[in-house]
């Protein structure tokens, strides 16, 4: 069993032992994505300086950019007043945070009660990710 740093114990972890994380472009303030971290992911992020998340679908650590090369260099790690949300201020390497090939995962807005895309695809995701077939 790994010794947990004291600062990790100050977080109010969910029942699944996760904490929600918002990744924000440090320079512009634009929100790029939302993900989850467990203790190991947050500790690795803090010690390596690059974002590591917990993939709920794959049930494993996910080093952002491990396939795409679009890593997130951490500039600052912030903690909310309720002690249950982390905000990462990051530099998005390659300018793409979303697996759809867009800058941000938040690329749709509700307009006239319909979801409408407003951000362009910067790079075809088929050219970014290797498909296991």
Question: Model pTM?
Answer: 0.90
**Using CA atoms, how far apart are residues 56 and 35, in angstroms rounded to an integer?**
9
The predicted pLDDT at position 130 comes to: 72
SS (H, E, C) 51-98: CEEEECCCCEEEECCCCCCCCEEEEEEEECCCCCCEEEEEEEHHHCCC
pLDDT by residue, tens only, the chain of 133 residues: 457 789 999 999 999 999 999 999 999 999 999 999 999 999 999 999 999 999 999 999 999 999 899 999 999 999 999 999 999 999 999 999 999 999 999 999 999 999 999 999 999 999 998 754 4
The predicted pLDDT at position 129 comes to: 84
Residue 108 belongs to what H/E stretch?
strand 108-111
**Using CA atoms, how far apart are residues 103 and 33, in angstroms rounded to an integer?**
9
Residues with Cβ < 8 Å from 124, sequence gap 6 or more? 101
Domains and CATH numbers, the chain: 6-99 (3.10.20.810)
């Amino acid at each position: 069993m790994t010794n947990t740093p004291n600062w990790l114990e100050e977080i109010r972890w969910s029942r699944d032992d996760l904490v929600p994380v918002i990744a924000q472009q440090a320079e512009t303030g634009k929100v790029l994505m939302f993900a989850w971290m467990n203790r190991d992911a947050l500790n690795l992020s803090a010690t390596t300086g690059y974002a590591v998340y917990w993939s709920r679908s794959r049930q494993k650590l996910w080093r952002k950019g491990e396939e795409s090369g679009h890593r997130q260099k951490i500039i600052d790690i912030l903690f909310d007043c309720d002690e249950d949300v982390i905000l990462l201020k990051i530099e998005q390497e390659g300018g793409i945070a979303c697996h759809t090939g867009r800058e941000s995962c938040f690329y749709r807005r509700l307009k006239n009660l319909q979801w409408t895309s407003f951000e362009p695809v910067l790079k075809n995701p088929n050219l970014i990710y290797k498909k296991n077939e």
